Amino acid sequence: MNLKVTTLAVLLMGSAALVACEKDETTTATPTDSVEMTATLDGKQEVGPNNSAATGTMTGTYNKTTRTLSYRVTYQGFTPTMGHLHRGAAGTNGNPFVSFSNVTTSPITGTATLSEADAALLLKGETYVNLHSQAYAGGEIRGQVMSK
C-alpha cells in the first residue's frame, strides 16, 4: 500500500511540474494607436533641388486615436527663418498645415492635432518637413515624412 501511495505522489508531483513548465500560448498582442514617424532633410529633396550643405532630421509619434502628432526637428549647417509640415508627395510642392515655432534654435519641438484628411496624408507618406532660410526662401532643406 505504501508503495502505491508513494508512486502516486511522485506521479502527481511530476505532472504538476510539467504543467507549471508549459509555455502559455494565450498571450495576445496589445494593439497600439501610436505610429513612429521619421524624415531626413536635405537640399536635394527640394522641388528645384539645391546644393545646400545643411541637413536635418525629424522624428515623431502620431497617435491615431487623438490624431496628435508630437515632433522633434533637428538641423545643422544653416539658420532657418521658418518651418512647416506640408501636404505633398515626394517631388511635389504643397500647402503647409503645421507651422513650427522657434525655428532659430535646434531642436524644434511641438505637438499638433491633425484633421482627418491631413492624418490620412501623413500615414500615406504624403507630407513633408520644409525649413526655409534667407538664402532659400522657398525652402532650403526638405524631407518626406514616413512611418517607421
Q: Considering the domain boundaries, does residue 41 fall inside one?
A: yes
Residue percentage of the chain with pLDDT more than 70 = 79
> Residue 38 — very low, low, confident or very high, per pLDDT cuts 50/70/90?
very high
Predicted local confidence at residue 8, as pLDDT: 44
Give me the CATH number covering residue 44: 2.60.40
Tell me: the pLDDT tens digits for 107-120?
A: 999 999 999 999 99
Concatenating the DSSP letter of every residue in 77-103 gives SS--SEEEEEE--TT----EEEE-S-T
Q: Which tens digit of pLDDT belongs to each residue from 21-35?
A: 555 555 544 568 999
Please indicate, yes or no, if residue 17 is contained in any of the structural domains: no
Give me the pLDDT at residue 29, please. Answer: 46
Q: How many domains does the chain have?
A: 1
Q: What grid cell was written down for 6?
A: 508513494
Check residues 144 and 27 and name the one with the higher pLDDT: 144
Residue 12's pLDDT is: 45
Q: Helices (DSSP H) in 1-148: which residue ranges?
A: 2-21, 116-123
102 is a domain residue: yes
Residue 24 lies in a domain: no
Residue 9: inside a domain, yes or no? Answer: no
Q: What predicted TM-score, i.e. pTM, was given to this entire model?
A: 0.79
Residues forming beta bridges with residue 127, ordered by sequence position: 87
Would residue 19 count as lying in a domain? Answer: no
* pLDDT (average), residues 15-19: 49
Of 144, 146, 126, 141, residue with least CA distance to 46: 141
Is residue 69 included in any domain, yes or no? yes
Domain span holding position 48: 34-147
Q: Which three cell numbers mark 46?
A: 527640394
pLDDT in tens, 48-94: 999 999 999 999 999 999 999 999 999 999 999 999 999 999 999 99
Contact 143/56 with Cβ under 8 angstroms? yes
Does residue 47 or residue 22 have the better pLDDT?
47
137 is a domain residue: yes
